[in-house]
Amino acid sequence: MERKRLLKPSLRTGRVEAAQASKGTSDDAIYRAILRLIDELNISGRVLDFGAGTGYLAEALCNTGRFSRVDAADLVKYSDVDDSRIRWYFSDLYKPMPVAAATYDLIVAAEIIEHLENPRFVVREWFRLLRLGGTLIVSTPNNESWRSLLSLALRGHFALFTGASYPAHITALLRKDFERIFAEAGFENVDFTFTDQGAIPKLTSHTWQQVSLNFLKGLRYSDTIICSARKPA
């Protein structure tokens, strides 16, 4: 027991340092794809940006004019965010948020679930926080792209979960994992879309879209997958 107590603080410190190293931002293509999906689904009301980082996406959600309330949550306070439209929660994302059940019409979790040790817990928490009929949108590295599958075959791990990504990226999920975890929590209408931006293996400064004149898209040619699901009404 003593050894476990000694390891926990260092593990938490490593996770915080890894989060800070990312600077709390993701690729613009991911944000654009999420905002496009919100438009397609015509979602409005109250929204939570879970794992909000610097608040870039939260501000973009405010700017859509769709949401009457925009909340943001993260473990790390990356900078002083002075946008009065956003209500911030700085807390441990491994624990329940200090927010009442059925608060949100939409929860967005951009590039955060791969950082968390227990995806089943956090999906159940998102289900609790959503109102009936509410929507969940989650993005994460796409481990079924050609780049990631080749990395698994040749290097023994998915492309964005190799040594350089650890200990930031610790939970690699496939579409089947999302389907199972979401169904276990009670979600329905699980669907997948992609950023249609993917690096070429060994030539990561170039994308499949550049060399194919934007012809190569979808599952095998995107570095990021976006999963949406709905809490039954």
Report the alpha-carbon distance of residue 147 to residue 159 in Å, rounded: 7
Residue 67's DSSP bridge partners are 45
pLDDT tens, N- to C-terminus, the chain (233 residues)? 444 444 455 666 666 666 666 555 678 999 999 999 999 999 999 999 999 998 999 999 999 999 999 999 998 887 666 788 999 999 888 899 999 999 999 999 999 999 999 999 999 999 999 999 999 999 999 999 999 999 999 999 999 999 888 888 999 999 999 999 999 999 999 999 999 999 999 899 999 999 999 999 999 999 999 999 999 99
- In the CATH hierarchy, which top-level class contains the domain 2-230? alpha beta
Buried b (16+ CB within 10 A) or exposed e, 48-61: bbbbbbbbbbbbbb
Domain locations in the chain as residue ranges? 2-230
> How many angstroms from the chain centroid is the CA of residue 41?
18
